[in-house]
């Protein structure tokens, strides 16, 4: 089971020295997973725990509060996936402006040399740390010449490196199926079901209106989705993201219709995985035309989700 420790504390003395990776790992995409796989492999070879040193909140959130990119995943999902990938220990550093002022030499002496004391390290080629990101892999190698340090190069797909920025762009444009190919899983958001105007119910397709704190939301349109209710079983569904231009056209809404489901969802937490975009947002002549299109959307969703 994954154990989580505060970065400000000393690494527990009763645990073996770990093999350590450093990074934000937002999204835990295939490039991150490639590095984590090497971390776990090295740790198992050395009979040591596989540890990840990461930050919360992400540095960009603190240093550029008005211009930082949206997080791809929630913190609970990040912890869950790291555990599923075989990581034994998570060391979480609370990132502040004061912490950002520490030079690389302080990070090496205090965090690596005093608190964690890793047995070995597995680092991404673009690892940076310390004030103004002046520290890199060469800095660490110079400080620990006898330590086994493995540098992991960028994972490329079709000649292009897998990156969090590319995934954000794909999700934001609605290309959720392409984003999933780089993420290694479907993009997901979590939210709470709140009361709406019940227009879906009057059309014969009741929807759950989702209120969410997620920042990375796919573009307007209709999506085939998978939905988990309160961490229970998964259901197939259709999600509509937009302003409902056939009706009032005001305010962005996330509406989810669960296929072959009945029950009251108000107040429940939903986890929604976006599988594929079925179409963009459209305005119809009236309720009957919209009802016909929803029936077509559901048929397309069933086919997509069966595949």
**What's phi and psi for 177, nearest 5 deg?**
-65, -40
- Indicate whether 176 belongs to any domain: no
Asked whether residue 9 falls in the same domain as residue 141, the answer is yes
Half-sphere exposure of 203 (CA within 13 A, CB side): 20
Q: What is the pTM of this model?
A: 0.90
Residue 201 has pLDDT above 80, yes or no: no
Predicted confidence (pLDDT) per residue in 268-303, tens digit: 999 999 999 999 988 887 788 888 999 999 999 999
Q: According to the model, what pLDDT value does residue 160 have? A: 92
Q: According to the model, what pLDDT value does residue 175 have? A: 98
- Indicate whether 138 belongs to any domain: yes
CATH label of the domain that carries residue 253: 2.40.30.30
Asked whether residue 154 falls in the same domain as residue 263, the answer is no
Asked whether residue 37 falls in the same domain as residue 123, the answer is yes
Q: According to the model, what pLDDT value does residue 66 have? A: 84
CATH label of the domain that carries residue 105: 3.40.50.620
CA distances from 210 to 34, 66, 271 (A): 34, 25, 10
- Indicate whether 139 belongs to any domain: yes
- The token duo for 145 is 């010449």
Predicted confidence (pLDDT) per residue in 152-179, tens digit: 999 999 999 999 999 999 999 999 999 9
The count of structural domains within the chain is 2
- Indicate whether 23 belongs to any domain: yes
Q: Which segment of 68-77, 106-115, 129-138, 201-210 scores lowest on mean pLDDT?
A: 201-210
CA distance 304 to 224: 7
Q: Which segment of 25-34, 37-46, 238-247 scores lowest on mean pLDDT?
A: 238-247
- Indicate whether 181 belongs to any domain: no
Asked whether residue 104 falls in the same domain as residue 199, the answer is no
Predicted confidence (pLDDT) per residue in 52-83, tens digit: 999 999 999 999 988 889 999 989 999 999 99
- Indicate whether 171 belongs to any domain: no
Q: According to the model, what pLDDT value does residue 205 have? A: 85
- Indicate whether 177 belongs to any domain: no
- Indicate whether 120 belongs to any domain: yes
Asked whether residue 122 falls in the same domain as residue 237, the answer is no
Asked whether residue 113 falls in the same domain as residue 199, the answer is no
Domain membership of residue 66 as a residue range: 3-161
Asked whether residue 154 falls in the same domain as residue 190, the answer is no
CA distance 103 to 134: 8
Q: What stretch of H or E contains 299?
A: helix 287-306
Contacts within 8 Å (CB) and 24+ apart, 100-103: 100/59, 100/62, 100/63, 100/131, 101/131, 102/130, 102/131, 103/130, 103/131, 103/134, 103/135
Name the percent of the chain in helix, strand, coil, to the closest 5.
30, 25, 40
- pLDDT band for position 252 (cuts 50, 70, 90): confident
Asked whether residue 190 falls in the same domain as residue 155, the answer is no
Asked whether residue 103 falls in the same domain as residue 213, the answer is no
DSSP string across 123-173: EETT--BSGGG-B-HHHHHHH-TTSEEEEEPPPEETTEE--HHHHHHHHHT
CA distance 228 to 215: 19
Asked whether residue 213 falls in the same domain as residue 95, the answer is no
CB proximity list for 45: less than 8 A, separation 6 or greater? none
Asked whether residue 121 falls in the same domain as residue 248, the answer is no
Asked whether residue 105 falls in the same domain as residue 245, the answer is no
Q: 3-state class of 305 per DSSP? A: helix
């Amino acid at each position: 089971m994954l154990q989580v420790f505060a970065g400000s504390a000393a690494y527990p003395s009763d645990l073996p020295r770990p093999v350590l990776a450093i990074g934000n790992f937002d999204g835990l995409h295939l490039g991150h997973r490639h590095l984590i796989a090497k971390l776990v492999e090295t740790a198992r070879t050395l009979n040591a725990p596989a540890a990840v040193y990461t930050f919360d909140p992400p540095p960009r959130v603190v240093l550029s509060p008005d211009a930082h990119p949206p997080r791809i995943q929630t913190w609970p999902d990040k912890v869950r996936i790291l555990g599923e990938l075989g990581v034994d220990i998570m060391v979480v550093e609370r990132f502040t402006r004061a912490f950002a002022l520490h030079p690389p030499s302080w990070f090496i002496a205090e965090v690596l040399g005093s608190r964690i004391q890793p047995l070995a390290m597995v680092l991404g080629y673009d690892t940076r740390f310390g004030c103004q990101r002046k520290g890199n892999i060469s800095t660490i190698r110079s400080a620990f010449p006898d330590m086994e340090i493995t540098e992991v190069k960028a994972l490329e797909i079709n000649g292009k490196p897998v990156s969090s920025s590319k995934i954000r762009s794909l999700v934001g444009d609605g290309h959720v199926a392409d984003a999933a190919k780089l993420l290694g899983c479907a993009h997901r958001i979590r939210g709470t079901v709140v009361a709406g105007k019940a227009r879906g119910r009057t059309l014969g397709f009741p929807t759950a209106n989702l209120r969410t704190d997620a920042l990375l939301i796919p573009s307007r349109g209709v999506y085939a989705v998978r939905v988990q209710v309160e961490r229970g079983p998964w259901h197939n569904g259709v999600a509509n993201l937009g302003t409902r231009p056939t009706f009032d056209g005001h305010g962005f809404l996330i509406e989810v219709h669960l296929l072959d489901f009945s029950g009251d969802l108000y107040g429940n937490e939903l986890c929604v995985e976006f599988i594929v975009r079925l179409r963009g947002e459209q305005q119809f002549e009236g309720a009957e035309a919209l009802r016909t299109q929803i029936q077509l959307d559901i048929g397309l969703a069933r086919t997509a989700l069966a595949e």
